[in-house]
Amino acid sequence: MIHPEDHVKVLILNKSLDLVAEIDLENAERDFTSLTYVKKVNGWGSFSGVVIWQGSPYVQYLLPDYRFIVQRQVTGTNVWVNDFAGFIRRIEFFTPESDAELVQIWGREIDSLLSRYLIEPDTGDAFVTMTGFADDLVKALVRRECIDDLDKVFPNLVVAADTSKSAKEMTIEIRNQNLFDTIAEIRDTANDFDFKVTISDDLSEFVFDTYAPQFGRDLTVGNTDGNEPLIFSIENRNMRMPRYWKVGLDAKTQVLVLGQGYMETRNTTVVNAANDIIAEWGIAQETKDAKDIIDPDTLIDIGEGVLEDQGPQEQMDFKTFESDSTRYWEHWKLGDWVTAQYLDIEADFAIEEIRFTVPAEELEQITPQLRQIAIRTL
């Protein structure tokens, strides 16, 4: 997807979030060669490929853990928005065959700070034990490890107020586990909210928050939020190289979940795929051992999980074009849900990652990565 019009600049902030350098990528001349950055939801992206001459006045500010902010001017306006926030984590000085002395930096998106911490029990406790709604639990863990623990406090980080938007209530017991991995596991278990660290509009603080049911907006056909649907299709001239396929080579359509008990007394719960799937693909059985589980709802959840992972797959895939009606930031952003149509198939996708490539003298390229969340026949 080619995106030719936005004006992009980089801000370097010190660890206290004071602005120390501003690099206008349109007017940087020899100070800038290229920039690639990737941002994600429920994870962290990265940036790389910023190459400047060692004689540039900006070199003195390229320091470990200095904050790296990408701002863009929204097409057709005088509005600047914060599009990316990260840390500098690698600095390299080198001289290629051209004898030009260069500096290149790499780094990670700000969400990566959550991977720096372990969840450690208090003295005398075997575990960190918490009960609550899933989204509130992840906020409590971030507060505990990154704000309340004065030995590990992360500067300028705040956690948004609890909202209990998740429908999943749970109890967790944790000991010396990575904070990010734990948050991601809780989110995947609940599967009804996203999480993200963003930087405030005035660049004064980082904010950890949860979003239900997703980080962005619902722009799918038939959404109940009143949003204008965003549809990718060949007819709308914003889709290229579409593909659609069905596969069921080793697919399972019935799962026998083996709960507690022994031999003939073992509690067995049969979980079937939807009737239309069985009608199309037939019965193909699988077993799943769950010998420690009594709760019938949990046994059904386990079986449905197996069917989701191993059942027949129906997929659509395509690449995007930018058009007047599908322009980044103006019409779609990270975390949005959108719809695509091809042949007689319609599918909904979550935009869970975006890659930006900003060459010094060429047009910017923006590539969304889409995860299919629903598919149906028109």
Q: Amino acid identity, residue 213?
A: P
- Answer whether residue 279 shows pLDDT above 80: yes
- What's the confidence (pLDDT) of residue 360? 60
Q: What is the DSSP letter of 16?
A: T
Average pLDDT, the chain: 91
Task: State the pTM of this model.
Answer: 0.87
Residue 222's H or E segment, with its range, is: none
Contacts of 18 (CB under 8 A, 6+ apart): none
- Answer whether residue 5 shows pLDDT above 60: no
Backbone angles phi, psi at 17, to 5 degrees: 70, 30
**273 near 311, Cβ under 8 Å?**
yes
Structure tokens at 13: 């902030």
- Mean per-residue pLDDT for 21-31? 71
- What's the confidence (pLDDT) of residue 282? 95
pLDDT digit string (tens) for 113-167? 999 999 999 999 999 999 999 999 999 999 999 999 888 889 999 999 988 889 9
- Answer whether residue 208 shows pLDDT above 80: yes
- Tell me how long the chain is: 378
Q: Amino acid identity, residue 304?
A: E
Where does the pLDDT of residue 2 fall: very low under 50, low under 70, confident under 90, or very high at 90 and above?
Answer: very low
- What's the confidence (pLDDT) of residue 164? 83
- Answer whether residue 187 shows pLDDT above 90: yes
Angstrom distances, CA of residue 131 to CA of 63, 138, 167: 41, 11, 13
Strands (E), 139-229: 157-159, 169-174, 177-178, 194-199, 206-211
